[in-house]
Amino acid sequence: MFGQLILATAAAKATSASSAWVTPTIVISIVALAVSLFTFFLTGRRTRLDRQRQVFADAMDAVMTYREYPFIVFRRNPDEPAKERQRISADLSELQAKLNGLKGRLKVEDRYVGDKFEELLAATRRIAGPMITEAWNRDPAPSDGSIHNPGWDFSELDGCDEAYLRAVADHLGWLWAPARRKLRG
């Protein structure tokens, strides 16, 4: 009987010793899983934001390139009018296609940012388009001294630029974009 009591006591100690290892092991596993999932989420968010940041910057760059076309047309080579017309028209057509593609892509990335870009693009085309036409109707700049801005002004687009950039900043910020817009109010 005394032997059985010793065996029972030893078995109880062994069971409590093994359970003393089980609980911390489970807790450590759960914490490690939580840290892994958080890191995976954070890395995915950073990657997505980096990709979106590049797309948003490319869109702004394309709009600014479009605004340069009145000057590009005005400064065309007067010695080869047909060649210059083909070159500039092809480049401008390629840029227009890029702008249209970016308009759709930004709508997919974020509806609000896409809407602000669409407004910016429409205003830019409304203002810069007639300037490009005017540049085609003018004689090319005859000399280096006459290549300066002939009076074209894009300041009317400043509000659209700011609205787009604010929408991008809101989207890329840590606080949920609609909440940021509401707080700015």
In a domain, 172, yes or no: yes
In a domain, 19, yes or no: no
pLDDT at 28: 84
Using CA atoms, how far apart are residues 46 and 34, in angstroms rounded to an integer?
Answer: 18
In a domain, 93, yes or no: yes
Range of the domain at 99: 48-184
* pLDDT tens per residue across all 185 residues of the chain: 555 655 555 555 555 556 677 788 888 888 888 887 777 777 767 777 889 899 999 999 999 999 999 999 999 998 999 999 999 999 999 999 999 999 999 999 999 999 999 999 999 999 999 999 999 999 888 776 667 777 899 999 999 999 999 999 988 877 766 777 777 77
Element (H, E) at 182: helix 177-184
- How many folded domains does the chain comprise? 1
In a domain, 30, yes or no: no
Q: Where are the alpha helices (DSSP H) in 68-147?
A: 69-74, 81-109, 111-137
Cα-based distances in Å from 27 to 19, 21, 61: 13, 10, 51
In a domain, 8, yes or no: no
pTM for the full predicted model: 0.75
pLDDT at 159: 96
In a domain, 145, yes or no: yes
Q: How many residues does the chain have?
A: 185
In a domain, 94, yes or no: yes
119 closest CA partner among 151, 152, 166: 166
